[in-house]
Amino acid sequence: MRSLQRELIRTDGAWAGGHYAPGEGPREGMRLARKLGMISYRSAREWSERFGRERAKDAGIDAFGVEFEIEAYLESRAQSFIGAFDPNCYLYLSRAMDLFDVAEHGGSVDKALQRLRLQQALVIGVDSDILFPLHQQQALAESLRRSGADTRFLELASKQGHDSFLVDMERFRPAIGDFLETL
């Protein structure tokens, strides 16, 4: 996902190899990258329940333009993102996320996590998160256990996907609160 987002930004002619004036740059690339990101932050179930096949208020003006409410929503979120985040900063942060590998800080994931010397850890996985799926969260919890940390793994059901930790407080607040009480 992030690779395609970066490509959308870099192939926008206004990116100019990253040499653009402040406040200028690849607006179209950023708009499309944000839309792609937004799609991946939530689950298909939420999109369906939230928007279904509802027609946009201005639908029908352009045969290939915004026709559905989901398209209007994604466009509004993309437009608010343009100018709020520098494209080069976005590219560097995105690339840093892809390049980070905890195993490089100890020879393996287990050895790297041992270096943290954690006593306790909580790993929360969300069943609808496509960016960090449950099997990855379970593997992290297992590595933390092998590193010596008393690790609790919690699988939460939430239709909000990756963004659930931001918007589904009814599920996250008690789970985190319970864990913090054990410290």
* pLDDT class of 66 with cuts at 50, 70, 90: confident
Burial of residue 49 (CB within 10 Å: 0-12, 13-18, 19+) is exposed
Percent with pLDDT over 70 in the chain: 99
Give per-residue pLDDT as tens, 155-175. Answer: 999 999 999 999 999 999 999
3-state SS class at 106: coil
**Across 129-134, average pLDDT:** 95
35 neighbors 78 (Cβ within 8 angstroms): yes
Cβ atoms < 10 Å from Cβ of 166: 10
Q: What pLDDT score does 57 carry?
A: 85
Q: What is the pTM of this model?
A: 0.86
Q: Mind listing the domains of the chain with CATH numbers?
A: 2-99 (1.10.1740.110), 105-181 (3.40.50.1820)
Element at 45 (helix H, strand E)? helix 44-51
For residue 181, give both structure tokens: 């009480």
Flag whether pLDDT at 38 surpasses 90: yes
Percent with pLDDT over 90 in the chain: 90
**Across 37-44, average pLDDT:** 94
Q: What pLDDT score does 143 carry?
A: 97
**Across 141-160, average pLDDT:** 96
Q: What pLDDT score does 60 carry?
A: 67
